[in-house]
Amino acid sequence: MDNKNKIYIILFITFLAFGISIGIYMDTFEDMDDLVNIPLDEEFEIQELVDLRKANKDTRKEIKKLKSFIENYEQEGATENIVLKNLKTKVKEYRILAGYEDMIGPGVVITLESTLDENIAEIVEYRRYLISLVNELKMVGAEAISINNYRITSRSEITLAGRHINVNTNPIAPPYVIAAIGDHTEFERYVNYNTLLFELMQGDGIGANVEFKDEIVIPALADEKPMEYLIIKEEN
């Protein structure tokens, strides 16, 4: 049981005890108007009832304080919940930007493969076609990108390793499937009017098949790279 629930249980028991006490006191005071008819030799009983009335008044004050305490506690709890919720939202946003969350949304899938029945890895890397395509997709608003299901982030690596290309140290082979989540309209405008890169690839025997889809799934990074040297600068 957490501390919050314990506090509520304690307050509930306290209210219950006060409520019972008030009930007893109120029953006792129903005949208070008849006190004037009590003989003088019974003054000690009158004083006892007066003390009960004072105790009842004090009890009401305590209940009022407890109610105020609960209202303040609930208000503070609500504020803490809002702060915690906002913090979780920020963490989620940063994890998305870092590529640590799966993404789903509309976008484009561009498949690059050889039209000459030969290995295109060397020409793709030499001409920087994959890197150029990724950068251009980012420029037209791509919010998440993958190559052959490997997530591309600001820390990703696209390099030639022998006769194949590595993405994030993972070897990939043609066809190269580039998926990007973003606005359909921007992607269509890019493909239809910014065709220089596609013309260059076609001249090197690389065909590009373009598909626009309403739902694309881009996986998170398979392995998270630890930050070894990065230090967050504290504000002065």
Q: What is the pLDDT of residue 30?
A: 47
Q: What is the pLDDT of residue 182?
A: 95
Contacts of 209 (CB under 8 A, 6+ apart): 110, 111, 113
Q: What is the pLDDT of residue 91?
A: 73
Q: What is the pLDDT of residue 112?
A: 95
Q: What is the mean pLDDT of each run of 10 residues along the chain (236 residues)?
A: 56 54 49 49 56 64 71 68 73 76 94 88 91 94 94 88 89 94 93 86 93 94 69 66
DSSP 97-128: HHT-S-EEEEEEEEEEEESSSS--HHHHHHTT
Q: What is the pLDDT of residue 190?
A: 92
Q: What is the pLDDT of residue 77?
A: 65
Q: What is the pLDDT of residue 35?
A: 47
